[in-house]
Amino acid sequence: MVSNEQTSVETFADYGARFQIEGDFLDEKSGLFRLEDSRLHDAASLERLILVLSVATLLLVSEGMEMMQRRALRHLKIGLQVVHHARQAIFTRLTLQTGPDPEPPSRRKCTLDPPQTWLAACFPCAL
């Protein structure tokens, strides 16, 4: 990673959040939902469409969270695959957990909790 900021655990977390947000915009605009292809210009129509897309995003991400640890795909696409393959009512399975968000999927399992210990274990030359 190249940055004008001094490298720290927080820098990696900030860039991780940024890439997640950019991926979400891609999913909504031209990726999975193709919002730009709607060609809507009326603000009220766009607001209704975005509301529908937000509900769809909630449902698909909820479905995708269950398979997140097994694959390194985006939550939205995983949820869409689950819905297509399962062909079952997703409203019966929709639950929102109250605990903290799980860590993002990773091919490398690192079980050390403190950030500096994790950073030293995964990137020995970073500290």
Instruction: Dump pLDDT digits (tens) for 65-104.
Output: 666 555 555 667 777 777 777 665 555 555 666 676 666 6
- Note the pTM of the prediction, 2 decimals: 0.38
Token pair of 41, please? Answer: 């210009």
CA atoms within 13 A on the CB side of 82: 23
For residue 103, tell me if it sits in a domain.
Answer: no
Confidence of residue 121 (pLDDT cuts 50, 70, 90): low
Nearest to 67 by CA among 43, 84, 44: 84
What single letter denotes the amino acid at residue 58? L
Full residue range of the structural domain in which residue 70 is found: 9-96+109-122
For residue 1, tell me if it sits in a domain.
Answer: no
For residue 104, tell me if it sits in a domain.
Answer: no
- Overall number of domains in the chain: 1
DSSP code of residue 105: P
For residue 3, tell me if it sits in a domain.
Answer: no
For residue 68, tell me if it sits in a domain.
Answer: yes
For residue 2, tell me if it sits in a domain.
Answer: no
Q: Which helix (H) or strand (E) holds 54?
A: helix 43-67
For residue 118, tell me if it sits in a domain.
Answer: yes
What CA–CA distance (Å, rounded) separates 58 from 12?
A: 26
